[in-house]
Structure 1
Amino acid sequence: MLLLLCLSVLSQAAKAQETWEVFMEKIPEHLQVSLLIQDEEGQTLFSQSADKRIPSASIIKIPILIALMEKVENREITLDARYSLQATDKVGGAGELQHLPDGSGITFRYLAEEMIRISDNTATNILIRAIEMGYIQDWLKKNGYRDTQLNRLMMDFKAIEEGRQNYTSPREINDILLNLWEGKWLKEDSRAEIMHCLKGCADNSTIPSLLPAGTVVAHKTGTLDYVRGDAGIILGDKPLILSVFVENFESMEEAESAIGKIALKAFRDFGR
């Protein structure tokens, strides 16, 4: 009886894999899609090029946020402490802090929220300096992450020209999210702060875009001219950890559409 049950489970898994392979064939052939879908226990539900190391864009802000909360737990940073915004902090790209007057007082909690909510690059760079880039790099290494690297500040084009890029892979960013979900590193209050930030991500053009209204997603998107990605937790009846990166797209909308369709299928197949 047990053997029959095991065979049935394996048969269902094989059928799901075949269905996904057929589905992925409908994604435009020129797109390079790297993805990993797991359940909350870490079981792989579908993967494609999950170990590919990819420029992370703003998805690197997830481990930055976790490192921040570790510093908070160690009482090295206080979320309610105020930082005085300096002219030298301001960088372009996403975010509103670059438009605030010099000397504006901003809490570290607000910096963390804005780093995720609208991917504020000025907020991110302030946090990287406060946490220390070496601390974040060491945190990634000590937890076994080799593909995921923070090698530069946001909007540091000189560093990019010199070959210093930020990276991750679907497997590693999924593992970071899974360990966050399981409470591996942080106390519950810290985990709640991070989940609050991730649920507040205002960019809903990727994973959340086609999901049923009211579906909660804790996630962080990333955008470069050559990479569009999203990584997060779909909080359906059965939580799913999902990372999708798209390269070689002809338009940003094409990449976002592919991510949205993948997330919807994952939700329908595995999340309810």
Structure 2
Amino acid sequence: MVIMAMGCSKAPAEQHEIGVAYLNLDSGDTFFHNEKTVFHAASTMKTPVMFQIYRMRDAGQLSLEDSLPVINEFKSIVDGSNYSIELIEEEEKSLMGNINNKMAVRHLIEAMITTSSNLATNILIELADPEAVMATLKETGADGVSVIRGVEDLKAFDQGLSNRTDAYGMMMAMKAVFDSQFVSVKSRQEMIGILKSQQFNEMIPAGLPAGTSVAHKTGRITGITHDAAIVMHENDSPFVLVILTRGWADYTLATGAGIEITKAVFQYHRGKVLTESLRKLINELEN
């Protein structure tokens, strides 16, 4: 006789991973945790796409007032076959009324960053060219970021071809936005302004005191919740903070972990938290 044990199985525990990179933009002080661990980039990769287009503007290759057709049809990097993306109203509200018409590059960039429009992203990736984006990332020291395709290319996803990042690489990408070594002062100011208009502010901004200005880009897909920010607070040095998370089925719990890390990093930035205490907190949040 075989006796079946009912109700005794236990779901496996979630495996959580966190990557953190902090850089004081004045002193050069850093803090890292799993900074070279590779994550799916989700929508954080949209900042390097914006950066490349502004470099193209600075080089006289385009105007941000140029218009591009808003057509929901793209080619897979696997075989060149056509695909379309799902249009989510919260993300695509500024593009919905312009399908099959044209929009200025400037407005597409704003939609890509502030509401994380995937439609705008795919249109702009074709303009920027992933190879050029990658070359620029390498030039800025952001080798850990890989932008190879548009969003929702399912054939590519099935073959493991995804945009990826580590915390260190995304930190360098955000530093490049702040640093006019790579772009004009005008482009730097415009990009920071767009990033400050981000409409999804649940992680890093939520862990900072009132009066803090945050120029940032979030990213979230199943099991992945990220935020990458330039943080500016009066009477304090500006800093870059990147928090990458993986493994939380409930993204609100990952967001909560990010808030706790942000609070601790801000105190570390002010010299009120020791490195060991910050590292202990992150280890506890992972476990």
TM-score class, shorter-chain normalisation, is 0.7 to 0.9
**Structure 1 spans left out of the alignment, 5+ residues:** 1-27
Per-residue deviation, residues 26-70 of structure 1 (Å, max 9, x unmatched) = xx9953111011201363442210111211111011111110001
Cα distance change of structure 1 residues 29 and 87 upon mapping to structure 2, 3 Å threshold: closer
Q: Is the 8 A contact 1:216 1:235 kept in 2?
A: yes
1:268 partner letter? Q
Aligned residue number for residue 35 of structure 2: 50
Q: Distance in 1 between matches of 2:169 and 2:27?
A: 12
Matches of 2:153 and 2:143, distance apart in 1: 22
Say which SS state the counterpart of residue 219 (structure 2) adopts: strand
Counterpart in 1 of 2:260? 261
Note if contact 1:55-1:166 (Cα within 8 Å) is conserved in structure 2: yes
Whether 1:192 aligns to 2:177 is no
Distance of 1:96 and 1:48 partners within structure 2: 37
Map 1:1-272; keep pairs closer than 5 Å.
30-41=15-26, 43-88=28-73, 91-92=85-86, 93=88, 94-96=91-93, 99-236=96-233, 237-271=236-270
Identity %: 24
> How far apart, in 2, do the equivalents of 1:126 and 1:271 lie?
41
> Is the 1:97–1:123 contact (alpha carbons within 8 Å) kept by the matching residues of 2?
no
State whether residues 239 and 271 of structure 1, in contact with CA within 8 Å, keep that contact through their aligned partners in structure 2.
Answer: no
Normalised to the residue count of structure 2, the TM-score between the two structures is 0.79
Q: CA contact under 8 A between 1:121 and 1:154: conserved in structure 2?
A: yes
What's the counterpart of residue 18 of structure 1?
none
8 Å CA contact retained: 2:140, 2:172: no
Partner of 2:7: none
TM-score, length basis structure 1: 0.83
Find the structure with the greater CA-based Rg.
2
Matched AA of 1:111: L
Count how many residue pairs are aligned between Structure 1 and Structure 2: 245
Q: Please give the alpha-carbon distance, in whole angstroms, between the structure 1 residues aligned to 2:27 and 2:154.
A: 36
CA contact (8 A) 1:198 1:219 kept: yes
Runs of 5+ consecutive residues of structure 2 not aligned to the other structure: 1-12, 75-83, 272-287
